[in-house]
């Protein structure tokens, strides 16, 4: 089964990586898809986010990393995917995720949304939190992969 794991990933956190590890055990091919989402205020370009995720997922044989724009269901259909993977961190995620899953299902009922509960250790994480900590001079090394940490340090230094 081909599955899509979509998200903004600005930047990817260890919570996202945990979901990738677990989803790659379920899917034959897992496509990690970086959304080009003009509505969000972003730190990294789509290419930078793809680059970081591809470097982290190097060595995961059934994981591909790419970017998409437009509707997720259209992208999923074009890839031949049967499932969309989403991580759930807490009850507060549920309403938004449930609404998206139902809307996607109304548009294409051949694609199922599968929810994976986040590892409790990472349930407090979000990309915004990581960015705020880094911006205020804190150390987010327990929250992101070292590839992401280095990229964030380079950004902060204006490199
Ligand atoms: N661990 C840590 N953090 C997690 C997480 C996990 N397992 N799962 C989600 N998050 C956090 C992210 O860090 C992010 O934090 P932020 O809000 O501070 O940036 C937040 O939860 C949600 O981000 P993400 O999972 O990256 O998804 P998103 O909500 O930004 O993206 C899309 C959602 C891309 C799937 C959705 O907008 C989409 O499908 N867009 C395409 C257009 C479309 O089809 N629209 C109609 C949809 S019905």
Instruction: Kindly list the domain boundaries of the chain, sorted by start residue.
Output: 2-156
Predicted pLDDT at 4: 98
Identify which of 92, 127, 99, 93 has the alpha carbon closest to the alpha carbon of residue 113. 99
**Chosen CATH of 2-156 out of 3.40.50.620, 3.30.830.10, 3.40.50.300, 3.40.50.2000:** 3.40.50.620
8 confidence band (pLDDT: 50, 70, 90): very high
Predicted pLDDT at 159: 64
Length of the chain: 159
Tokens matching residue 152: 């964030």
Predicted pLDDT at 157: 74
Mean pLDDT along residues 106-111: 98
Please give the model's pTM, rounded to 2 decimal places.
Answer: 0.94
Mean pLDDT along residues 116-133: 93
Examine the pLDDT at 149 and tell me if it is beyond 90: yes
Predicted pLDDT at 37: 77
Helix, strand, coil % in the chain, rounded to nearest 5: 45, 20, 35
Examine the pLDDT at 41 and tell me if it is beyond 80: no
For the chain, percent of residues with pLDDT exceeding 90: 86
Ligand 1 site residues (CB inside 6 A) read 6-10, 13, 15-16, 19, 35, 37, 71-72, 87, 89, 100, 103-104, 118, 122, 125-128
């Amino acid at each position: 089964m081909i599955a899509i794991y979509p998200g903004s990933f600005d930047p990817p956190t260890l919570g996202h990586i945990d979901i990738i590890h677990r989803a790659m055990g379920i899917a034959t091919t897992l496509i990690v898809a970086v959304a080009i989402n003009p509505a969000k205020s972003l730190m990294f370009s789509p290419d930078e986010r793809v680059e970081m995720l591809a470097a982290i997922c190097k060595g995961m044989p059934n994981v591909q990393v790419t970017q998409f724009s437009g509707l997720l269901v259209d992208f999923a259909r074009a890839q031949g995917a049967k499932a969309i993977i989403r991580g759930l961190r807490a009850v507060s995620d549920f309403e938004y995720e449930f609404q998206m899953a139902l809307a996607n299902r109304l548009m294409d009922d051949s694609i199922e949304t599968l929810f994976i509960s986040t590892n409790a250790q990472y349930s407090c994480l979000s990309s915004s939190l990581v960015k705020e900590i880094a911006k205020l001079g804190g150390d987010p090394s327990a929250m992101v992969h070292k590839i992401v940490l280095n990229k964030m340090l380079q950004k902060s230094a204006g490199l």
